[in-house]
Amino acid sequence: MSVALAIGTLKGAWVARSDDGRTWSVDGPYLKGWQVNTFGVAPDGTYLLSTGSTWYGAALHRSSDLANWSQVVAGPAYEEDSGRKLEQIWTLAMAGRSLFAGVAQAGLFRSEDAGETWAPVEGFNDHPTRPGWQAGLGGLVAHRILVDAADPERMWVGASAVGVFATEDGGESWELRNDGVTRAAPDDDYPDIGFCVHGLVHDPDEADSIWRQDHTGVYRSRDGARTWQRIETGLPAGFGFPVGRDPQTGRLFVVPLESDEFRLPVNGEFAVYASDDAGDRWFRAGDWSRPGFDGVLRDAMAIDGNGGVYVGSTAGRVALSADTGETWLELDVTFPRIVSLHAFVI
Amino acid sequence: MPLVQVTIPRMLAELIGGNRHQDVEAATVRGALETAISRHPELAVHVFDETGEIRPHVSVFHNERSAQLHAELNDGDAVVVLQAVSGG
């Protein structure tokens, strides 16, 4: 079994490949010079990535081999009279035969033809609370999409700095679900929003169990995001961006950073933290760390389901484990700032 | 209709096979851009924004001067799309 680790950076994409999880070859850059924000798989089995550019806007690209990419001509786009601009495409997710894209300025788009054409998800984009939506440091962004595999009509979307939304009807209607989470951007005119979710992951076999790396800490929900409880025992800090979960063992992973002000590894130790009891207690994964002052962005953690755990850092380094975080090594290539990391089992 | 050359930046050219230069027949700068983009429609999103205007960080030059989109063209003119000097 081979793994292709797709690495999206500020200046292009690379693909690291391995047959054993320990020896890696690296190919690239692909889309040289373009910021590569995320990767995904379309319902037809082709790979997708999104590019974003300060100069040239955002686009989707498709490949059958993660090496030869061609641009999707009719990617997600706001209507001319919407007053909104599509600045970046931050996440892609399949829900049954549908494909969803989360974008900045915050919105969702849906494709029913494997990503060739897209339509806005109006129930989300025109949500009644939208006039109060505030941008976080990374912009006003819809960046996480979870789908209930058993019922793809049920989805959860994280938007910053707004909160977690849920739909039970395939995206027609959306409600905010953030009870128990501390607001990061409180505005008394809009008491239901102002939550700054960073990472979201859930249990594919029990979709109502959701974990959340938020601006204000690490949280867990057991009821489909309706209520949240803080779970930070053993963590050196509650702030961070990604949260991941190994589907085989249930082990959770986060990469804590010292506070929203400083955003640095605590005590200059770059480390991944794990939990084997659904977040009740956390420990340093594999007791591994290295001196470092780099962090991990929200889309830059990947888990392949076969023991592989991968984190890409803001310093362009990739740390990886082939044994669910027990032992770690780093690729001997330094990349530009890593924005996204996705593992594909080939 | 004047025959002019449209040149695009290398980052955009690599999206369409690498060719930076196209000869097109067009009466105005906008017409030249639209004709060039009609041959490679994936370029549209990178040059124009949602409202049909040139993106804020994209510059268009006509014979080495900042271009007005409605400017009229003559045979042999050059229309050049440039990445604005911004960003990092």
Cβ-contact A221, A230 below 8 angstroms: no
Cβ-contact A39, B10 below 8 angstroms: no
B76 and chain A: CB distance < 8 Å anywhere? no
Give me the sheet containing A12-18, strands edge to edge.
A25-30, A12-18, A3-9, A338-345
* pLDDT tens string A44-80: 999 999 999 989 999 999 999 999 999 999 999 999 8
Q: List B21's β-bridge partners, or say none.
A: B7
Burial (CB count within 10 angstroms: exposed 0-12, middle 13-18, buried 19+), residue B39:
exposed
* pLDDT tens string A286-334: 999 999 999 999 999 999 999 999 999 999 999 999 999 999 999 999 9
* pLDDT tens string A11-34: 999 999 999 998 999 999 999 999
Tell how far CA A60 is from the center of its chain. Answer: 17
Partners of B83 on chain A (C-beta within 8 Å) are 55-56
Distance from CA of B78 to the nearest CA of A (A): 21
Distance from CA of B84 to the nearest CA of A (A): 7
Q: What is the largest CA-CA distance in chain A?
A: 54
Cβ-contact B21, B5 below 8 angstroms: yes
When pLDDT is averaged across residues A198-214 and rounded to a whole number, the result is: 96
Cβ-contact A76, A86 below 8 angstroms: yes
Residue A155's pLDDT band (boundaries 50, 70, 90)?
very high
Residue A128's pLDDT band (boundaries 50, 70, 90)?
very high
Q: What ipTM, to 2 d.p.?
A: 0.91
Instruction: Name the helix (H) or strand (E) containing B12.
Output: helix B10-13
Sequence-distant (6+) residues with CB within 8 A of A241 are A198, A199, A213, A255, A257, A295, A296, A297, A298, A300
Partners of B15 on chain A (C-beta within 8 Å) are 71
* pLDDT tens string B25-77: 999 999 999 999 999 999 999 999 988 899 999 999 999 899 999 999 999 99
Q: Looking at beta carbons, which pairs linking A81-86 to residues 24 or more positions away fall under 8 Å?
A: A82/A120, A82/B50, A84/A125, A84/B50, A85/B49, A85/B50, A86/A57, A86/A58, A86/B50
With H, G, I as helix, E, B as strand and everything else as coil, classify residue B43. Answer: helix
| Numbered residues of chain A with Cβ closer than 8 Å to any chain B Cβ | 32-34, 53-59, 71-73, 75, 77-80, 82, 84-86
